[in-house]
Amino acid sequence: MKIAVTGAYGQLGGELCRKLPTETIPLDIDQLDLTDDPAVEKVFAGLNPDAVINCAAYTQVDRAETEAEACRAVNLSAVENLVRVCGVLNCPLVQISTDYVFCPGDGRPVPYTEQDTPSPRGVYSQTKYEGELAAAKHHKHLIVRTCGLYARPSDETADNFVKTMLRLGQSRDELQIVADQHCTPSYVPHVARAIQFLLGVGLAEPAPWGIYHVTNRGATTWYDFAAEIFRLAEIDIPMRRITTAKYDAPAPRPEYSILDTRKYHLLGGPPMPTWKEALREYFAEMSVGVS
């Protein structure tokens, strides 16, 4: 099986390229501009992959508010181009999406299922939802929604919340952390393992086509997540809770975007650990230098 992985320089794309037990074709912007339809058609005709996993995305949530055209080109137009080539090749397309399609999520009492209707708000969340709709037009599609990804500590190029907190915890006297956004930050190796299962790599067949929620289990806030990071890292730093309104970011954030993962787990795939278990695994790998 030959799998093309776009966004191969990113956290999830890089993990998939390193760990998939099959031939992978890593693609990123320096090999192929996914918004260039003729180039996409030409390159994929030559590669002839058995499946495509699209990890490429415009993820600068705040910048997207002033760069809407660039954001939509990557999060929608590129997906439309991949849908066309996957249709010609008759191969599966795995589209990576986000909990942000459920934004703002005001007053939500229970986790979102795959049957719940998205409520995107802001350029980033809207374009990611539009990308989902485009991917769903391809009959062999797997749309995987996830949240707050952080890569292995050995991924030196990764930029994520955990690394940022570890850096700031050693350089600041005090930190203000948003405490009213409820989500489930997820460890990239666990998400990559689940995608491998859903695509049927090494199995008889893939999961039924459709949407799947894949995150670590449980719920937290960015404040409590940061507190657990500092506890495990044995960093003693004063923290103050602030609201999303106080943070005053240009783009809206979900107040509640917990994703229900029962649909994935009912298939019998590798269980997703809780967010606390995942974070402990991150620190264990940091201590022994696992790559």
Written as tens digits, the pLDDT of the chain (291 aa) is: 999 999 999 999 999 999 999 999 999 999 999 999 999 999 999 999 999 999 999 999 999 999 999 999 999 999 999 999 999 999 999 999 999 999 987 677 899 999 999 999 999 999 999 999 999 999 999 999 999 999 999 998 899 999 999 999 999 999 999 999 999 999 999 999 999 999 999 999 999 999 999 999 999 999 999 999 999 999 999 999 999 999 999 999 999 999 999 999 999 999 999 999 999 999 999 886 544
Catalytic site positions: 124
Closest among 53, 130, 55, 145 to 94, alpha carbons compared: 53
Domains of the chain: 2-288 (3.40.50.720)
Buried b (16+ CB within 10 A) or exposed e, 47-86: eebbbbbbbbbbbebebbbeebeebbbbbbbbbbbbbbbb
pTM of the model: 0.96
Burial grade of 236 (CB within 10 A; 0-12, 13-18, 19 or more): exposed
